[in-house]
Amino acid sequence: MGVLDIGSNTGHLLVVDAFRGGPPVPAHSYKEPLRLTEHLDGDQAISEDGISRLIKYVIEAKGEAEDKGCTQILAFATSAVRDAVNVDDVIARVNEASGIDLEVLAGDDEARLTFLAVRRWFGWSAGRLGVFDIGGGSLELAVGSDEIPEVATSLPLGAGRLTREWLDADFTPAELRLHIRSSIADEAGAILRGGAFDRAVATSKTFRSLARICGAAASSEGQYVRRVLRRRDLSPLVEQLTHMRPDDIADLPGVSADRADQIHAGAIVAEATMDLFDLPELEICPWALREGVLLEHLDHL
């Protein structure tokens, strides 16, 4: 089975060997840095060039999936496509050109499905989970003691979006910091109303990169190694990144060249999240949205 994730930064096809009751085992991965947030025009529409790049990638991803023997592809798009004013046109053109049934995933569904993946990874012994995910276009937050979170919400605080709308627009990091903190604080009450977290977890590329910079094990050591991001390590990194160029950031461990310019904004979001929810550390979960989409699909078979 293939899971095709059209994110704000990257298109990612994950081919897995999956069956109900077992963990999805990755068999093949095909990624392309689409950076759709950079293809939004002044009216917040995805440009013709952005649509062409997206169609080309989806057609190639479909070919990769079929070549690997996939009989089904679950395809979804997140923040950059979801928030574009021409979203309906984009989806229609992609689906007509590729034959893929690409759907737009709502922000709260994105948070809910990421939470499901984290719950399945850690199990019931994790207790009350707080789950945080920084994407290219949005920040997802979810909390709960079951498989369906009590609260699941999405905020327009993705690392790519904030870089483009704030840091590249000559706002200062201090101004961005205040914007992020006020936005998260508006949601904090609903998240914390049910009590503290027994386990606080972060997922996806930005958090993984920040943890790696701060000393977490490399991906080559396997997914079962415990990895954490500690606030005491992150806070000085945020200040350090303020004075670094993207080329220098790309040389840091765990940072890919195509995301180096977004790490600073992502770090400000991560620090604000940990500070406002009083989290000394976040444990990194290797499963995230793609696994959540797949797991829910298997549950419904």
Whole-number Å distance between alpha carbons of 49 and 40:
10
Q: Give 10-residue mean pLDDT values along the chain (301 residues).
A: 95 92 90 92 94 98 96 95 97 97 97 98 97 97 97 97 94 97 96 94 97 96 96 97 96 94 97 97 97 94 79
Count of residues making up the chain: 301
CATH 3.30.420.40 region(s) of the chain? 2-105
Q: What is the CATH number that goes with domain 2-105?
A: 3.30.420.40
Q: What is the pLDDT of residue 23?
A: 87
Alpha helices in the chain (DSSP H): 48-67, 79-83, 87-98, 107-122, 159-162, 173-192, 204-213, 231-242, 246-249, 263-276, 289-300
Q: What is the pLDDT of residue 26?
A: 92
CATH 3.30.420.150 region(s) of the chain? 108-290
Full-prediction pTM beyond 0.75?
yes
Architecture of the domain spanning 108-290? 2-Layer Sandwich (3.30)
Q: What is the pLDDT of residues 49-90, one digit of tens each?
A: 999 999 999 999 999 999 999 989 999 999 999 999 999 999
